[in-house]
């Protein structure tokens, strides 16, 4: 399963469009993506806004969404609800890291702990976190409690399980090298296992950031009167779908920004792990 | 002759009746990796260990390194029984085993830092000297992934010699290096090590390497791993230059070793475990 989380590193010779894209410089690639997005937005605006192929209430064109965004800002709805969501997200993600990292370290370095907690962790991870949503109201009431709980439960397993896998899959010859040069158990842990697991930890954090956002929106959609999820529900119920779309876009931007932020921290903390030009 | 003087002194490394068996939990059986290995190695001797892959030569080396406990038998170094790794023995690994998150300098320092050797003030110079000795000056701040296989193994070699161990255990150190680099590095290893007078156990499956580097060649057989033959190499040093390879004694040794290994391979495949 761990290969599921590992970053794709195998580069194969590619032809055609894939080859063209692979051959682009980072700047060229960014330009390509921007062009793609602009073209899609234009097409969308033209088909729905100008031709009216679809009822704009169901699928508001980009300019309407922009209008909805402005409304959200002017009403003060956005500032208020985004603040609640960001706070829940950060709290939940911090708790997931604070619990997931030590548990992952334990599971990765102790076979008995892994035997006992591994199956439980994988089972909980396999169950969709969304399923707990109705219960969370009974457990945590109607405040941000259920939201934070769902964020934690969504983000904690990828963090924990990736970290554990990273420690367990450390090359045995690195461990042998540490022992040969006088390393104690503690040295092996500190100087080999922990640094070797860093790329796996960040893979888990990146995945956890996305799942945390999903958990947050699901919890806010049904169980909460505040937060971005609540904004979506309320605006959709009053047929202000342009506002719903604006809220969805903001959530997507948040999710992408957080994974990018994790990537930045990784490049800063683990500069040796640049994917390009990796050995072998 | 130095030969008689060497045999008179007690050997530095004594391997006595070493057998290593692994239990295979899945099948409930056990696998004998090596059986009844006896080997004496004198101080300053360069011993090459030759054999097919899977013949347990690495296992014997790991026992000497203190990484593997023998099921039966024992190893003593300088009269003391080996119970674990020690600063008198360093290992060069086939897969380099460098820490990818450390620069060349810090990888070499790894050979010192866990033996409290950093307390002595001159550790920086020792690391720098080792790096220069293996020809990596100027690459101190590079990461392993930025280096070729040959250069990575130079780092592994520098890490092994930085703490000045008496014994160097080299496990197919050139096995993963390209052919040309392999020859260059083989010659450098000969010069470097004969100059320092270290005791070396060098595992290889290259007949050429075994002859050109070894004072003595220990030939292993497989299933189970055991010593088949020991041959003293009396070619003059340095052998590295091309001259040695046209020496009739070199050719004779090479042919002999070919025959021995080929017979062994045939016997092994008849035994039904052809691998």
Q: Do the domain assignments include residue B110?
A: yes
Cβ separation A181–B143 shorter than 8 A: no
Q: Do the domain assignments include residue B102?
A: yes
Spatial CB neighbours of B56, under 8 Å, sequence gap ≥ 6: B20, B33, B34, B220, B222, B224, B225, B226
Looking at the structure of chain B, the number of domains it has is: 1
Reported confidence tier of residue B105, pLDDT bands at 50, 70, 90: very high
Whether chain B has a CB inside 8 Å of the CB on A178: the answer is yes
Q: Do the domain assignments include residue A280?
A: no
Cβ separation B114–A181 shorter than 8 A: yes
For residue A129, what pLDDT is reported? 80
Q: Is the pLDDT of residue B143 over 80?
A: yes
Of all residues in chain B, the percent with pLDDT exceeding 90 is 63
Residues A179 and A44 in one domain: no
Q: Do the domain assignments include residue B62?
A: no
Residues A166 and A218 in one domain: yes
Cβ separation B163–A181 shorter than 8 A: yes
Give the gap in angstroms from C-alpha A173 to the nearest C-alpha of chain B: 6
Q: Do the domain assignments include residue B111?
A: yes
For residue A176, give the nearest of B67, B102, B163 by CB distance.
B67
Chain B residues inside the 8 Å CB shell of A186: none
Overall average pLDDT of the B125-133 stretch: 93
Instruction: Report residue B148: phi and psi, to 5°.
Output: -75, 165
Residues A101 and A44 in one domain: no
Q: Do the domain assignments include residue A279?
A: no
Q: Which domain holds residue B117?
A: 97-163
Nearest to A180 by CA among B76, B66, B13: B66
Q: Do the domain assignments include residue A1?
A: no
Residues A78 and A121 in one domain: yes
For residue A272, give the nearest of B114, B143, B159 by CB distance.
B143
pLDDT digits (tens, 9 = 90+) for B211-239: 999 999 999 988 888 999 999 998 888 88
* Pairwise CA distance, residues A17 & B51, whole Å: 50
Residues A45 and A73 in one domain: no
* Pairwise CA distance, residues A121 & A97, whole Å: 15
Residues A39 and A121 in one domain: no
Whether chain B has a CB inside 8 Å of the CB on A9: the answer is no
Overall average pLDDT of the B149-157 stretch: 94
Q: Which domain holds residue A73?
A: 60-273
Cβ separation B114–A173 shorter than 8 A: no
Classify residue B236 by its DSSP letter: P
* B-proximal residues of A, 184-213, CB under 8 Å: 184, 187, 191-192, 195-196, 198
**Chain B residues with CB within 8 Å of chain A CB:** 65-67, 84-87, 89-91, 93, 95, 97, 99-102, 110-115, 143-146, 159, 163
CATH assignment of the domain containing A161: 1.10.3720.10
Task: Give the ipTM.
Answer: 0.88
For residue A280, what pLDDT is reported? 32
* Pairwise CA distance, residues A84 & A225, whole Å: 11
Residues A36 and A102 in one domain: no
Looking at the structure of chain A, the number of domains it has is: 2
pTM to 2 decimal places? 0.81
Tally the C-alpha atoms within 13 A of residue B247's C-alpha that lie toward its C-beta. Answer: 20
Q: Which of A205-214, B115-124, B164-173 has the lowest mean pLDDT?
A: B115-124
Reported confidence tier of residue B81, pLDDT bands at 50, 70, 90: very high
* Pairwise CA distance, residues B61 & A138, whole Å: 63
Q: Do the domain assignments include residue A257?
A: yes
Residues A157 and A267 in one domain: yes
Q: Do the domain assignments include residue B131?
A: yes
Reported confidence tier of residue A130, pLDDT bands at 50, 70, 90: confident
Give the gap in angstroms from C-alpha A172 to the nearest C-alpha of chain B: 9
Residues B96, A190 contacting (CB under 8 angstroms): no
Residues A33 and A139 in one domain: no
pLDDT digits (tens, 9 = 90+) for B11-57: 999 999 999 998 888 888 888 899 999 999 999 999 999 988 778 88
Chain A residues inside the 8 Å CB shell of B65: 180
Residues A37 and A97 in one domain: no
Reported confidence tier of residue A13, pLDDT bands at 50, 70, 90: low
pLDDT digits (tens, 9 = 90+) for A194-204: 999 999 999 99
Q: Do the domain assignments include residue A6?
A: no
Reported confidence tier of residue A3, pLDDT bands at 50, 70, 90: very low
For residue A279, what pLDDT is reported? 36
For residue A276, what pLDDT is reported? 42
Q: Do the domain assignments include residue A23?
A: yes
Nearest to A165 by CA among A95, A98, A118, A112: A118
For residue B27, what pLDDT is reported? 83
Residues A50 and A100 in one domain: no
Q: Do the domain assignments include residue B187?
A: no
Classify residue B269 by its DSSP letter: I
Q: Do the domain assignments include residue A75?
A: yes
Q: Do the domain assignments include residue B64?
A: no
Cβ separation B101–A178 shorter than 8 A: no
To the nearest whole number, what is the mean pLDDT of chain B?
Answer: 88
For residue B128, what pLDDT is reported? 95
For residue A180, give the nearest of B85, B101, B113 by CB distance.
B85
Q: Do the domain assignments include residue B127?
A: yes
- Reading phi first (left if > 0) and then psi (alpha if -120 to 50, else beta), residue A12 is in beta
Residues A39 and A91 in one domain: no
């Amino acid at each position: 399963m761990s290969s599921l989380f590992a970053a794709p590193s195998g580069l194969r010779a590619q032809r055609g469009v894939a080859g063209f894209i692979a051959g682009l410089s980072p700047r060229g690639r960014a330009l390509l993506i921007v062009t793609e997005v602009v073209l899609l937005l234009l097409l969308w605006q033209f088909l729905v806004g100008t031709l009216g192929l679809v009822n704009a209430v169901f699928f508001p064109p980009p300019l309407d969404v922009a209008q909805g965004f402005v409304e959200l800002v002017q009403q003060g709805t956005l500032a208020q609800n985004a603040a609640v969501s960001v706070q829940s997200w950060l709290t939940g993600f911090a708790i997931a890291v604070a619990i997931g990292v030590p548990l992952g370290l334990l599971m990765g370095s102790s076979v008995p702990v892994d035997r006992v907690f591994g199956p439980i962790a994988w089972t909980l991870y396999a169950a969709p976190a969304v399923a707990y949503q109705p219960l969370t109201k009974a457990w945590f009431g109607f405040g941000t409690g259920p939201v934070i709980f769902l964020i934690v439960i969504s983000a904690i397993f990828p963090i924990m399980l990736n970290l554990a896998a990273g420690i367990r899959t450390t090359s045995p010859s690195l461990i042998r090298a540490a022992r040969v040069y006088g390393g104690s158990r503690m040295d092996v842990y500190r100087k080999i296992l922990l640094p070797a697991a860093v790329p796996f930890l960040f893979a888990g954090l990146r995945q956890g950031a996305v799942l945390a956002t999903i958990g947050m929106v699901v919890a806010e959609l049904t169980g909460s009167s505040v937060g971005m999820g609540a904004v979506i529900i309320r605006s959709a119920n009053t047929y202000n779908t342009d506002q719903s779309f604006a809220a969805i876009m903001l959530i997507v931007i948040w999710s992408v920004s957080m994974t990018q932020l994790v990537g930045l921290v990784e490049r800063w903390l683990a500069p040796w792990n640049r994917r390009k030009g990796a050995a072998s | 002759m130095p030969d008689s003087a060497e045999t008179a002194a007690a050997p530095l490394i004594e391997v006595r009746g070493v057998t290593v068996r692994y239990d295979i939990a899945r099948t409930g059986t056990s696998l004998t990796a090596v059986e009844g290995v006896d080997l004496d190695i004198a101080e300053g001797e360069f011993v090459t260990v030759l054999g097919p892959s899977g013949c347990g030569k690495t296992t014997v080396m790991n026992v000497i390194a203190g990484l593997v406990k023998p099921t039966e038998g024992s190893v003593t170094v300088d009269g003391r029984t080996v119970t674990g790794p020690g600063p008198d023995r360093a290992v060069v690994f086939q897969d380099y085993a460098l820490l990818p998150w450390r620069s060349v300098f810090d990888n070499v320092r790894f050979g010192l830092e866990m033996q409290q050797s950093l307390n002595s003030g001159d550790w920086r110079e020792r690391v720098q000297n080792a790096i220069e000795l293996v020809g990596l000056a100027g690459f101190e701040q590079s990461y392993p992934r930025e280096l070729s296989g040959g250069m990575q193994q130079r780092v592994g070699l520098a890490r092994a010699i930085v703490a000045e161990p008496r014994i160097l255990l080299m496990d197919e150190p050139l096995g993963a290096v390209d052919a040309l680099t392999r020859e260059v590095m083989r010659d450098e290893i000969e010069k470097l090590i004969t100059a320092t007078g270290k005791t070396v156990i060098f595992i290889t499956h290259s007949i050429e390497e075994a002859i050109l580097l070894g004072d003595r060649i220990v030939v292993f057989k497989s299933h189970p791993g055991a010593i088949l033959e020991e041959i003293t190499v009396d070619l003059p040093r340095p052998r590295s230059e091309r001259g040695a390879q046209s020496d009739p004694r070199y050719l004779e040794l090479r042919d002999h070793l070919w025959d021995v290994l080929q017979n062994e391979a045939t016997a092994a495949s008849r035994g039904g475990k052809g691998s």
